[in-house]
Amino acid sequence: MDTIHLSIDGIDVEVKKGTTVLETANHLGIDIPTLCYAKGINHSSSCRVCLVEVGTRLIASCTLVAEDGMNIRTNTEKVRNARKTTVELLLSDHNQECPTCGRSGQCELQNISKRLNIREVRYTGEKSKTLVDFSSPAIVRDTSKCILCGRCAGVCDNVQTVHAIGFTGRGFNTTIAPAYGKPLAESLCINCGQCIMVCPVGALQERESIHEVWHAIADPNKFVVVQTAPAVRVALGEEFGLPMGTRVTGKMVAALRRMGFDKVFDTDFAADLTIMEEGTELLTRLNSGENLPLMTSCCPGWVKFVEHNFPDMLNLLSTCKSPHEMEGAMIKNYFAEKMGIDPSRIVVVSIMPCTAKKFEGQRDELSNHGLQDVDYVLTTRELAKMIKEAGIDFDRLQGETFDNPFGEGSGAGIIFGATGGVAEAALRTVFELVAGKELETIDYKAVRGMEGIKEAEIELPSGKLIRTAVVHGLGHARKLMQSIQSGAKSYDFIEVMACSGGCIMGGGQPFIDPQTQGEVNVKLERAKAIYAEDKALPIRKSHKNPDIIKIYEEYLEHPNSHKSHELLHTHYIRRKQF
């Protein structure tokens, strides 16, 4: 028998075998509160908030598999009192400085406390020893807010396979930390921020640079330039109550100007630049047969993952800097020369969907003449905070356009924000560079979609097949790398994004509450917006961007030239394998 029958709160229901009581209740529209549960990430039933009454017993519904004839009650006095007691006990050892917490208003513990009508914490006693770890340039870990739900360890272990943090200690001394109690900066952490996205409280947050950016804008001796990644424009609106996947490109530009930035540029321009450099690099490697497969280097989390876990394969990474680092280099060199501005006066701020970009911005390998290519990285969330702090009514803004010379991006640059986008953008250009003619169809749908590993073969006019793989989520990336090492798989070109879904689901994007996650396919809605913007643009290929053509004529000469390598390419380092 493939189905079973049970009753929840007097409602008879038929479900498939193996379905949990929590899933069954959700199907019926019965909302059982949870804190530790995260589908596909953590199913530990450790928080005990999702308790339901089965006969005389209280059992956690997230791991309770439904059985035939069960009679479940989710709203008895016994259940409500047990849930309240559980949450009060969590609050008794929790840092309750809610008004100043970065998650205030978006905190699941705060919301459940309100929902359960908790007005006091009846339990007092010894507090756990806590610390705030500021060692990482990307992520702050505050154990005073941790409720030991295990979600962060779950996503780090089960999804990303990074294993940077986990449970340590016993009993009252239990905490979640890197191995041997080391600071986060000395761990295997790749700064992807997926732990931040699943943390229900404020125990993990990005390391903010808001104050430093406001200070730079206020300094009359600084020329402050901002650039925005493609994934930001399809998510920022969520912070202001707009529907999932709303494109707010023009409003975002207008807000940035009102905030006081001297120039507002589009990182899509540098995405096109990346394709020119990376596409040429791919053709060079295909002709020589060396250092294949070429693996993309746009994602700093992925790059650090290779540096830690597969250092013998670093030669396969593209030497191209990521798009925002390329743009930073061009701003402090080409733009500085053109405008007659001392590069040391220029402050480059990148608005990214990603926390790993904060780490990337500080890498010594991403600098020129003693100046970092990018000075500050702000997440989508940080930008939203600054807009609100500035008193800007985002919804009422009229759309504005980016500044030149780095304001014109193609559709190929836009789709960098979704998994498969870099591969598709590269293939659009590589095919036409080799063929010397226009493509009839430029939508490479074989590399789109949300499968963890996608494979495709693209035939060039010469008859050469480019064997391509597109991967998102580092658990999938690890499997692919191991299959290449063993010889089981062979490719020419591989795109990897550390976050599941790509940059649209980066660790710096707006938080999505559990209820919305259950009702809306967030990846799909944001990806649809990315591809819609691509379709709407008159230029959809990187090599057709007139500003890209101009910058090679005026400054860079040609892709992979000596000047290009000096400014737009980099190298990588071996890191500790703990």
Judge whether 298 counts as a catalytic residue: yes
How far are the Cα atoms of 100, 124, 421, 422, 423 from residue 471, in angstroms, in the given order?
A: 38, 48, 11, 11, 10
Q: Which of 365, 389, 459, 554 is catalytic?
A: 365
Please name the residues in contact with 203: beta carbons below 8 A apart, sequence gap of 6 or more: 141, 142, 143, 145, 146, 147, 152
Annotated active-site residue in 239, 408, 503, 564: 503
The residue assigned the tokens 């990846």 is 523
Q: Using DSSP, state whether 297 is helix, strand or coil.
A: coil
Token pair of 577 as six digits: 């394998």
DSSP state of 498: S
499 catalytically annotated: no
**Gap between the Cα atoms of 79 and 85, Å rounded:** 10
In angstroms, the CA 420 to CA 472 distance is 9
Q: Which residue has the tokens 């008794």?
A: 92
- Confirm whether 120 is a catalytic residue: no
Q: Where are the beta strands (DSSP E) in 343-451?
A: 346-352, 367-368, 371-372, 376-379
- E strand or H helix at 161: none
Q: Identify whether 281 is a catalytic site residue.
A: yes
User: Of 164, 224, 221, 219, nearest to 188 (Cα)?
Assistant: 164
CB distance 176 to 153 below 8 Å: yes
Choosing from 304, 321, 357, 523, the catalytic residue is 357
- Does 88 participate in catalysis according to the annotation? no
Catalytic pick among 50, 146, 156, 298: 298
Active-site pick, 113, 209, 297, 318: 318
438 is catalytic: no
Supply 493's token pair: 């070109």
**CB burial of residue 221 (10 Å; 0-12, 13-18, 19+):** exposed
Catalytic residues: 278, 281, 298, 318, 357, 360, 365, 503
